[in-house]
Amino acid sequence: MAALAALPSTSWTRDSHVSALPGLVMAAILLLIILVVSLILTWWAIRRDGALAKRSQ
């Protein structure tokens, strides 16, 4: 909560901070999607090529 108190609190800056939230949320979602897709593709490539150590039987 202290970080929010550090923001300038005039009427025009409050509006600009609030108007920036949709873009910030979309950027965070995009980064999360990129992370998830890259982890899935990495897991798939490792499983396909057999790069993980196999258990000896």
CA distance 8 to 55: 60
Judged by DSSP in three states, 32 sits in helix
- Position 34 in a domain: yes
Residues spanned by the domain of 43: 24-51
pLDDT at 18: 77
- Position 10 in a domain: no
CA distance 51 to 45: 8
- Position 5 in a domain: no
- Per-residue pLDDT of the chain (57 residues), as tens digits, is 455 556 666 666 667 777 888 899 999 999 999 999 999 999 998 888 877 666 655
Q: How many domains does the chain have?
A: 1
Residues 6+ positions from 31 with CB-CB distance below 8 Å? none
